[in-house]
A and B are shown apart, each in its own frame.
Chain A
Amino acid sequence: DGGITQSPKYLFRKEGQNVTLSCEQNLNHDAMYWYRQDPGQGLRLIYYSQIVNDFQKGDIAEGYSVSREKKESFPLTVTSAQKNPTAFYLCASSIAKGQGRDTQYFGPGTRLTVL
């Protein structure tokens, strides 16, 4: 059963803590993405990776970090430097870079709340 999984579904963070959001895919996709969604807003790209051991900053990378040690996994760490981390976080993946033909497939999301 192929797809993208994100965990946890809900996450609570205290001020000053780092937290890591998990994203795993078994679709054999090369590219993976992290987006942030705030109420009434479109999705904004945080980081993306087109290949293992390589990733690029998106539009709002400050206060976040990622790694891509395996093709299947792209965890996102929300650091204490992120001043307003409460949001809905979505992970996505797509088949291949280039050609412009690839659909992005999304996971179910993680809702992060700062206490």
Chain B
Amino acid sequence: KQEVTQIPAALSVPEGENLVLNCSFTDSAIYNLQWFRQDPGKGLTSLLLIQSSQREQTSGRLNASLDKSSGRSTLYIAASQPGDSATYLCAVRPGGSEKLVFGKGTKLTVNP
């Protein structure tokens, strides 16, 4: 059974710092991996999707990498801003499945 773990559960950094969020998964047989952002009381916003054949994806200040063989992904946020404060969720789509398996998220606080 696929399991997704996100470490740390919470992270607080000063504005301007570069930071890395971690995601690990137990089964490397995946179609893709997605990173989402969730603001309090809101739905999820897709940030980046990495296909199983890809190593990384970039969007603005965000860069996500995927190492399928080791079951790891990282989300790199450059020059963090207070507006980046949110919970970041990682999800994998197991091979042969229509479902997403989610981690519990990392709650990020960027202090001005």
Contacts and interface: CB of A to CB of B under 8 A. Distances in A.
Interface residues of A, number: 28
A4 to B, nearest CB: 8
Given A45-B100, A58-B99, A104 B34 contact: yes
Contact of A100 (B44, B45, B51): B51
A108 B43 contact: yes
Contacts of B31: 100
A42 B103 contact: yes
A88 B105 CA distance: 15
Summarize B's interface: helix, strand, loop or mixed: strand
Given A100-B31, A101-B51, A104-B34, A43 B102 contact: yes
A109 B100 CA distance: 17
Nearest to B6: A42
Contacts of B36: 106
Given A106-B43, A106-B45, A101 B98 contact: no
A97 B31 CA distance: 12
A69 B47 CA distance: 31
A103 interface: yes
B28 interface: no
Interface in B9-68: 31-32, 34, 36, 41-46, 49, 51-52
A32 to B, nearest CB: 11
A4 B89 CA distance: 20
B77 interface: no
Contact of B98 (A6, A41, A48, A59): A48
A97 B52 CA distance: 16
